[in-house]
Structure 1
Amino acid sequence: MGSEPAIRVRAPRLDDGAELWRIARDSRTLDLNTPYAYVLWARDFSATSRIALVDDAPAGFIIGYRRPARQDCLFIWQVAVDERFRGLGLAGRLLQDLVDDASPVPVRAVETTITDDNGASQQLFRGFARRWDDAPLTVEPLFESAHLIPAGETGEHHDPERLYTIGPHPVH
């Protein structure tokens, strides 16, 4: 019988930026940002982001930020898990680790945007709301077609995004 893989979750470092980009690219579901953006994110937003390592191999990430007007609200920008490591519960573990470790202001709400066809992300955030003391979950339109740059200008279509808000969560 094989041994369990060693899973470690930590804040990303500058030298993780390229791996974040590769995982995002290979996911084929995320809006891919430039490699520079992921390197910059690993440097400037490491306190609100995490990378998962499985047997020391980069396996997934979550990147987010505190909303400037509401520091107790953590907005999750992207979550991705390398195909080779799916089924290990990494996405949920990354999200939980990030929320649990939030300081200096405790997280009372988590936000993200999800398209209607992204069932995996919907399931991740609905499950997190249940595990986070059954925190309330609301879903409402946020970025509609009128807010997005037309495909004729960008060369790519983007579906509308719904805002998922989990919370408020009681501070313990």
Structure 2
Amino acid sequence: MDFSSVILRQPTAEDGASVHQLITRTPELDSNSCYCNLLQCSHFSETSIIAKRDEETLGFISGYIKPQSPETLFVWQVAVSAKARGNGLGVKMLQNLLEREENVSVTHIETTITESNDASWALFNSLAGRFGAPIKHSIMFDRATHFHGEHDSELLARIGPLSR
């Protein structure tokens, strides 16, 4: 994919509906309400990023700084449209997000990933490699304990410290 026409920027509330549509069309992701996506695009805009070409939303990452760990960016969701997958857009968005002045104090990244989500593991392993940082994982939310058997366990992936 030619990234020259893709704009990476901080989302706004006006992006909420298109982000909701992107996530809804991404079967690997848990869908949230449109209202939730509006909050991600407004309240958490400094720690989120949108990728657009013309008026089309190609990618979105939502995240937040952990209140009890202000050096840690927790990545909530990474969504890349089917037509933009396999071209490194996810890593490009994450790198751009980490390069923002607002996120200069981030030394660690955390996210949760199910064991079977090969695409997410590849993305975060690639990011760890680019930053020369170790990646560790452990169970954060257990299938039986937290999801009553209705969702796979979510493994916490922790990357850092980041070399910048």
TM-score computed with the length of structure 2 as normaliser: 0.92
How far apart are 1:149 and its partner, in Å?
Answer: 3.5
Q: Partner of 1:62: helix, strand, or coil?
A: strand
Deviation per CA, 1:116-149, whole angstroms, max 9, x where unpaired? 11000000000000001x1111111111124424
Q: Structure 2 stretches of 5 or more lacking a match?
A: none
AA aligned opposite 2:160: G
Q: Distance in 2 between matches of 1:102 and 1:30?
A: 29
Computing the radius of gyration over CA atoms, which structure comes out larger, 1 or 2? 1
**RMSD in angstroms over aligned alpha carbons?**
1.7
Residue in 1 that maps onto 2:139: 141
Q: Distance between the aligned counterparts of 2:40 and 2:22, measured in 1? A: 14
Given that 1:5 and 1:54 are in contact with CA atoms closer than 8 Å, whether structure 2 keeps it comes out as no
Match of 1:33 in 2: 32
Change (3 A) 1:4 1:73: closer
1:160 is matched with 153
- Hey, what's the Cα distance between the residues in 1 that align with 2:71 and 2:158? 13
Aligned-partner Cα distance in 2 for 1:142–1:33? 20
Contact 1:5/1:55 (8 A) holds in 2: no
Q: Distance in 1 between matches of 2:41 and 2:103?
A: 19
Q: Taking structure 1 as reference, are residues 26 and 139 closer, same or farther at Cα in structure 2, changes over 3 Å only?
A: same
**Which residue number corresponds to residue 66 of structure 2?**
67
CA contact (8 A) 1:52 1:58 kept: yes
CA deviations on 1:51-89 (whole Å, 9 max, x unpaired) are 001244210100000000111100000001111222332
Work out the number of aligned pairs and report it: 163
Q: What is the percentage of aligned positions where both structures have the same residue?
A: 38
- State the TM-score, normalized to the length of structure 1: 0.88
